[in-house]
Each structure stands twice: as C-alpha cells, then as structure tokens.
Amino acid sequence: MEPTGTDSPIPGAEAAVRTAAGPERPPLPVRPRSLPERHSLRAQVLAALRDALASGELAPGETYSAPALAERYGVSATPVREAMQRLAGEGVVEILPNRGFRIAGRSPEDMAELAEVRAALEVPAVLRLARSLPPERWEALRPLAEATVRAATLGDRAAYAEADRVFHREILRLTGNRHLVSVAEDLHRKTQCPVPDGTPPGTAELLADALEHTALLDALRSGDLGGAERLAREHLTRPPYGT
C-alpha cells in the first residue's frame, strides 16, 4: 500500500535527518514573563495619567518629573517615561530635557479646530450608518450612553472622559472602518486635554453633555436623520469649557 499523509513516519527517519543536519540544537529560550507584565504596567500608567489629565490632577503649565510620578503611582520611572513619551507624541505634554515633562494643555482655538475636524469625520459616518442600520443596533449602544450619564451624575471627570470615548468609539466601529476609528479616537483624546486657565466642567455640564448621547440614540433609533445630524454636530462642536 502506498503511504498516505496520515501514515506513521518511517522508523529512524527523524534521527537520520537530525544526524544529516548536524547535532540537535537546544530549543530557543522562552521569552521572559516580565515583557508582557511590563507592557501591561505601561498601559496602566498611561491610563492613570490620562485620568489625571482629565480630572485636572495634572495641571496645564506644570512640570512633573518621572521619578516623582513614579513614586505617586508606586512604579519605577521607566513605564512613566514611556507613557509620557506617548503623551508627548499626542501633543499633550512637552519634554523638558533634564527636567521632566510639562503639561501642555490646549488653547480654546486648538480645541475648536479639533472639534471641527471630529465633526467632519464623525457626523457623515453616523448619517451613513443611520440610513442602513436597524433600530435594535442603536438600542444595543444604550448601556454605553447610560454609563456616561452615571459618570456625569457623580461628577467624575476622569470616568466621564473614558465613558464618553468608549461611546463614540463603538458608534464608529459599526462602520467597519478601523482607520476611521483610530483617527477619530486620537482626535477625541486630544479634545479631552485641559484648557489652561479654563474652568473644568462641573456635574451640570457633564450631565448635559451625557444626555445628548441618549438623545442622539433616540433620534437614530427612530430614523430622525435631521435631528440626529443636528444633535451630533452640536455635540461635537461645542466650545470647550472655560472659554
């Protein structure tokens, strides 16, 4: 019978191949466990720094050293530096050689321009979705909108910033366009930076903003394209607080 792909290998064949190829090499070393843990730690520090920026704990114009922040969060300075480098790439902080990092903040003009770009990307995408998605797809996003309302009711600016970002991201994910989601999320993070000398939003402002999420879902679920466009555009282009 001819051998098939499921037949057992010829006895001694593997040893013959190893002998012909030279002495058997030791297996490659296993990647150290510290690598994924370090990556996770860096992500946690980055998230903590974003929360501190959103809450106003890290103030625009102030300078912070990596060792001091590391002590605050109970980590080494390395993940703090890595996270700050990431924020510097987003324009959130400025690197001061031999001193640390200064929180850049954004001017009201910067925030208005960023909001305009966000609206130019997100509003048409939402309207395209509104013409094709059934009502139940919009209703599935209701828990995310309600999460923004809960955070706003508590006056928790950091929690609200995260819930707000997730809500908008999940709407855009319905488009299936990963690049659109990535660009829009980057813009969204930039609009969540503090405004120098601005007044941080209070509970009332956060709640008004959050309720627009539920109103937008109501319009989309009912097929009110005109109302949805108006709500989305006003929501995205509102001037930053404190201006």
Share of the chain above pLDDT 70, in %: 79
Domain definitions of the chain by residue range: 36-103, 108-237
Residues shown for the chain: 243
According to the model, what pLDDT value does residue 7 have? Answer: 44
Contact criterion met (CB below 8 Å) for 192 and 54: yes
Mean pLDDT lowest among 75-84, 138-147, 213-222:
75-84
Half-sphere exposure of 99 (CA within 13 A, CB side): 10
Q: Which amino acid type is present at position 96?
A: L
According to the model, what pLDDT value does residue 104 have? Answer: 83
Model confidence at 12: pLDDT above 50: no
Half-sphere exposure of 179 (CA within 13 A, CB side): 0
* pLDDT bracket for residue 158 (50, 70, 90): confident
What's the whole-number average pLDDT of the chain?
A: 82
This prediction's pTM: 0.73
Pick the CATH number of 36-103 from 3.30.465.10, 3.40.390.10, 1.10.10.10, 1.10.4030.10: 1.10.10.10
Q: Please state the rounded mean pLDDT for residues 214-228.
A: 96
* pLDDT bracket for residue 116 (50, 70, 90): very high
Q: Please indicate whether the domains covering 36-103 and 108-237 agree at the CATH topology level.
A: no
CATH class, 108-237 region: mainly alpha
Mean pLDDT lowest among 144-148, 156-160, 230-234:
156-160
